[in-house]
Amino acid sequence: MSLLIKNGNIVTAGENYSADIYAEGEQITRIGKNLDAPPNATVIDATGKYVFPGFIDPHVHIYLPFMGTYAKDTYESASKAALVGGTTTLIEMICQASAQEPMRDGFELWMGKAVGKSACDFTFHQAVTRLDQDTAGQLTDIVESGVSSFKIFLAYKGAFDMTDKELYDTLALAKKLGVVVTAHCENADLVLELQKKYLGEGKTGPEYHYWSRPPRVEAEGVHHLATFAETHGTHIYIVHTSCKESLDEAMAAAERGVNIQIETLIQYLVLDKSYAELPNFEGAKYVMSPPLRDKANQEVFWNALRKRYVSTIATDHAPFDFVGQKEMGRDDFTKIPNGIPSLEDRVNLLYTHGVAAGRIDLNTFVDAASTQAAKIFGMFPRKGTIAIGSDADLVVYDPNYRGTISAKTQHINLDYSAFEGWEIKGRPSAVTVRGEVAVQDGKFVGTIGRGQFVKREPNHF
């Protein structure tokens, strides 16, 4: 299998230049002008287009038992959607339904959902919902199997949350093993008490989800985690950071030497809490945790992204149908399954509202949507850049394309789109996974099951 991409404008996190790219044996083997290829090579003319490294979504949920139901996607549907949107590697959260289940069982279950079924490459963050001597041994085995990051929750009281002793011990274990701890930062007790307060006052609609998890509750979680991580020097990564208050806490921790990095979501950059206030229960489509925030937060995060204070843009993709699933919470906002799916739309929305709108440059776009995830989570330079020896995960991007987002044409398995009718300026015209063309002109043409598990080594930094 060989591939030649000709006449493209190559963009990485730090460079822009014109050249051809030749790949053979799944990796990039030559970069230069006027490259030749054997007669049987696949040739793509990228004249007038950008060539980006394959994008990486560092935070998705595909198989997810949650709030009494299951997320709608499978690896077949999700990987197709990811690739059509330019994402060639996913990092999924392993979140077993019961904290009492063996960690190894969860790892094997999630692997079984992906292996032989994904069209794109994938890896995992292992959720840690309890810690004792037995689970510490299981986690060590999982790290040796190639998972170099944990996921913890300072939220979801009685489900995923952990005690402070478990938090302390988990961060100590992570430091010992050299893994990154990714964390959902909210104060579980505060959320629970605020939920009781609003339900007790008869305030049951989707709009009250926000008030049960206000910005200070999230910021307190960031502060709490950073304080504990600081005691061990553990590398931490704040997932789905949604508001200025939380960003400020993370930045303050970084300034005093905490090894901390910040993720935000494409949803927080383009949506605000008014969407969750839509009448006739339409707001339920926009319920996620942490919630959508006041619109003023958007410019705060665009600015932080532009300055590269925010490392990554993810999706926290968690697809639940409006009919039959989101409706579970019609009389109680705490029962609305959380999630605003955007796996397929992340890259195009970031380009449209970021690059095309003049908010960020192309290099920052690539850095936030690909390179930083590869570096933080132990995949660089195999993933996240265009270099000799890197996997031939490439996105030929047409900045002149114009189209609209619609549930009728999306590839995710969902009955609505949170961005119905939104215009996009640009889209991938071709996407390759390790040298094989997987998308052509917006259509999936790849191979289900070709996606590989990306084994990652601990970083020890």
Q: In the sheet where 87-94 sits, what is the strand order? A: 55-60, 87-94, 121-127, 149-154, 180-185, 236-238, 260-265, 312-314
- Per-residue confidence (pLDDT) for residue 160, from 0 to 100: 64
Say yes or no to pLDDT of 99 above 90.
Answer: no
Q: What is the pLDDT of residue 158?
A: 57
CB 236 within 8 A of CB 180: yes
Torsion-angle region of 48 (φ positive above 0: left; ψ -120 to 50: alpha; else: beta): left
2-52+384-444 and 54-376: identical CATH topology: no
Give pLDDT, residue 358. Answer: 98
pLDDT exceeds cutoff 80 at 293: yes
Beta bridge partners of 436: 433
pLDDT of residue 394: 99
* Start-to-end CA span in the chain (Å): 37
The residue type of 154 is: L
In angstroms, rounded to a whole number, what is the distance separating the alpha carbons of residues 429 and 437? 11
CATH architecture of 54-376: Alpha-Beta Barrel (3.20)
pTM: 0.97
Does 290 sit behind a cis peptide bond, omega within 30 degrees of 0 on the bond before it? yes
At 66 the pLDDT is: 82
CATH superfamily of domain region 2-52+384-444: Urease, subunit C, domain 1 (2.30.40.10)
- The pLDDT assigned to 155 comes to 76
Label residue 101 by pLDDT band (50, 70, 90). Answer: confident
Structure token pair of residue 253: 């921790």
Report pLDDT for 90.
Answer: 98
**Banded model confidence at residue 240, pLDDT cuts 50, 70, 90:** very high
Helix residue ranges, H only, 162-232 = 164-177, 188-200, 207-212, 215-232
Summarize the confidence of residues 435-456 as an average pLDDT.
98
Closest to 188 (Cα-Cα) out of 143, 155, 146, 160: 155
Helices 215-232, 164-177: axis angle to 10 degrees equals: 50
Domain ranges of the chain: 2-52+384-444, 54-376
- Six token digits for residue 154: 């300072």
Angle, alpha carbons 402-408-409 (nearest 5°): 50
Mean pLDDT of 437-450: 98
DSSP letter assigned to residue 369: I
- Segment 316-342 shows an average pLDDT of 97
Instruction: Judge contact between 453 and 112, C-beta under 8 A.
Output: no
pLDDT at position 339: 97
Kindly tell me the burial class for residue 371, based on how many C-beta atoms sit within 10 Å of its own C-beta (0-12, 13-18, 19 or more). Answer: buried
Q: Are 329 and 206 in contact (CB under 8 A)?
A: yes
